[in-house]
């Protein structure tokens, strides 16, 4: 049978089955089990109405339970067993094995790098794009174009960017944009300005922003000690420590940048340069996610009351002050939402790494590491253990979301 026909039949059966289930189960309930007639009509109607929600919910609960809730438990169990020993319980042996692999720590380090860079860059670009396009005539068109990569698959985007990064021998014409641009630099003043000074200034700016965030996090402890919950204190201190680490790292990178001898005039295989190739992969996701950030933030910017902005202008604020001191604080909640949503995407990132480097040249990430263990090494124990690590990384966001949803419903 041709797949198209098979597909059509399945659509009919699947969708028909679903609709049939809902229709006939309701009929059964109303006409046969609790008929709304006879001496107990009233009681029957009440009973039917007590059962009905569960009829409506049953398929969804069943699918959610089987496809999402059960796997969480089952994966946890599998991570504690060994497949080659017929699923015998082995305690934390899989985790120990995983923690002893350098590839795992490489994946962890890269995931953390992704976790910092991609949400930050996507949100920043998204905010910039939202602000820029908000008040110009052709803004809608511009938005459409920046938003467009959202529709492109990670695999398609990987092909697009591999075409950008492709390198050819020095004596042939370069067909990758990045190498074509790279070969324009010969090590003169222009190269110094663009390749050393400009990145250094950007890094300094980044370090400055991170330091400012750390300052905000630590502010409550510096002043007259207003009391905070222990949980909040720990979070703040951890955040500040992470920020301090980032500041030191980026300052060190600046030093390295100025002392580095750049290989001018040679086409580069960008995806094989350790450490930096991670950033070339991240660019793909940033390119895709910026549109998402822009759309959400643009709606938030429109929701800002005009009066606050007008009042600031009347008081003599310049456009930058208006943006950073009036608008951004008012949409901080939305920025956090965008940030966490992109964080969720980043934690699960698989396709881009799989299609572009498959984790070679030190670009491994957790999801690809897991896929590797699962289907190439056939080691379900360690594969499950790495899945649990991903789950652990996601769970703070999960708890936060559930907490907020419950608060909203009350």
Query: Applying CB under 8 A, does 136 fall inside the site for other proteins?
Result: yes
* Helix runs in 166-305, H state only: 177-182, 189-191, 198-222, 230-259, 276-302
Query: Applying CB under 8 A, does 292 fall inside the site for other proteins?
Result: yes
# residues contacting other proteins (CB under 8 A): 118
Query: Applying CB under 8 A, does 238 fall inside the site for other proteins?
Result: no
> In angstroms, what is the minimal distance from the CB of 338 to other proteins?
7
- Site map (CB under 8 A) of other proteins, residues 269-288, x = contact: ------------------x-
Q: How far is CA 19 from CA 108, 200, 208, 294, in A?
A: 45, 61, 58, 38
- Site map (CB under 8 A) of other proteins, residues 178-197, x = contact: --x-----------------
Q: Which is nearer to other proteins, 41 or 63 (CB)?
A: 63
Please give the Cα distance from 405 to 410 (Å, whole number): 9
Q: Which is nearer to other proteins, 260 or 313 (CB)?
A: 313
What residues between 300 and 339 interact with other proteins by CB under 8 A?
309-310, 313, 319, 333, 337-338
Name the phi and psi angles at 89, rounded to 5.
-70, 125
> In angstroms, what is the minimal distance from the CB of 73 to other proteins?
8
Cβ–Cβ under 8 Å, residues 309 and 322: yes
Choose one: 108-116, 240-248, 255-263, 289-297; the region binding other proteins (CB under 8 A): 289-297
> In angstroms, what is the minimal distance from the CB of 270 to other proteins?
14
Applying CB under 8 A, among 299, 311, 332, 377 the residue interacting with other proteins is 299
- Site map (CB under 8 A) of other proteins, residues 138-167, x = contact: -x--x-xxxxxxxxxxxxxxxxxxxxx-x-
Applying CB under 8 A, among 28, 57, 251, 311 the residue interacting with other proteins is 57
Helix/strand/coil percentages in the chain, nearest 5: 80, 0, 20
Q: Which residues of 200-237 are buried (b: 16+ CB within 10 A; e: fewer)?
A: beebeebbeebeebbeebbeeeeeeeeeeeeeeeeebe
Query: Applying CB under 8 A, does 297 fall inside the site for other proteins?
Result: no
Choose one: 53-61, 192-200, 205-213, 231-239; the region binding other proteins (CB under 8 A): 53-61
Q: Please identify which residue in the block is written with the tokens 């429109």.
A: 302
Applying CB under 8 A, among 49, 184, 325, 360 the residue interacting with other proteins is 49
Q: Which is nearer to other proteins, 250 or 334 (CB)?
A: 334
Q: Which residues contact 180 (CB under 8 A, 6 or more apart)?
A: 174
Q: Nearest-5° angle of CA 24, CA 25, CA 31?
A: 80
Applying CB under 8 A, among 22, 264, 279, 361 the residue interacting with other proteins is 22
> In angstroms, what is the minimal distance from the CB of 208 to other proteins?
21
Please give the Cα distance from 100 to 251 (Å, whole number): 31
Q: Residue 149 has what DSSP assignment?
A: G
Strand duo 88-89 + 81-82: pairing: antiparallel
């Amino acid at each position: 049978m041709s797949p198209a026909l098979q597909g059509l039949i399945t659509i009919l059966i699947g969708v028909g089955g679903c609709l049939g289930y809902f229709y006939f189960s309701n009929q059964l309930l109303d006409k046969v089990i609790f008929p709304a007639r006879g001496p107990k009509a009233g009681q029957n109607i009440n009973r039917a109405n007590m059962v009905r929600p569960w009829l409506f919910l049953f398929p969804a609960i069943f699918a959610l339970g089987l496809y999402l809730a059960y796997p969480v438990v089952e994966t946890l169990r599998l991570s504690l067993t060994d497949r080659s020993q017929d699923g015998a319980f082995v305690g934390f042996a899989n985790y120990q094995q995983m923690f002893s692999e350098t590839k795992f720590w490489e994946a962890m380090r890269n995931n953390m790098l992704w976790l910092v860079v991609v949400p930050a860059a996507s949100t920043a670009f998204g905010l910039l794009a939202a602000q820029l396009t908000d008040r110009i005539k052709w803004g809608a068109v511009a938005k459409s174009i920046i938003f467009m990569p959202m529709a492109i698959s990670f695999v398609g985007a990987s092909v697009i960017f591999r075409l950008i990064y492709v390198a050819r021998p020095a004596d042939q014409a370069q067909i990758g944009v990045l190498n074509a641009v790279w070969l324009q630099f010969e090590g003169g003043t222009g190269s110094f300005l663009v390749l050393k000074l400009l990145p250094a200034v950007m890094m300094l700016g980044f370090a400055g922003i991170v330091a400012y965030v750390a300052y905000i996090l630590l502010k409550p402890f510096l002043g007259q000690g207003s009391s905070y919950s222990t949980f909040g204190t720990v979070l703040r201190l951890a955040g500040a420590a992470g920020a301090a680490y980032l500041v030191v790292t980026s300052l060190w990178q600046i030093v390295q940048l100025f002392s580095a001898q750049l290989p001018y005039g040679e086409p580069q295989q960008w995806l094989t340069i350790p450490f930096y190739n991670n950033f070339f992969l991240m660019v793909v996701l940033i390119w895709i996610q910026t549109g998402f950030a822009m759309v959400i933030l643009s709606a938030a910017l429109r929701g800002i009351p005009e009066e606050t902005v007008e009042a600031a202008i009347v008081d003599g604020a310049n456009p930058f002050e208006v943006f950073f001191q009036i608008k951004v604080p008012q949409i901080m909640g939305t920025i956090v939402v965008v940030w966490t949503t992109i964080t969720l995407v980043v934690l699960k990132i698989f396709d881009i790494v799989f299609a572009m480097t498959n984790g070679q040249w030190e670009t491994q990430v957790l999801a690809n590491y897991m896929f590797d263990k699962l289907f190439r090494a056939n080691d379900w124990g360690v594969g499950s253990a790495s899945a649990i690590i991903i789950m652990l990384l996601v769970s703070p966001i999960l708890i936060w979301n559930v907490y907020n949803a419950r608060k909203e419903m009350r």
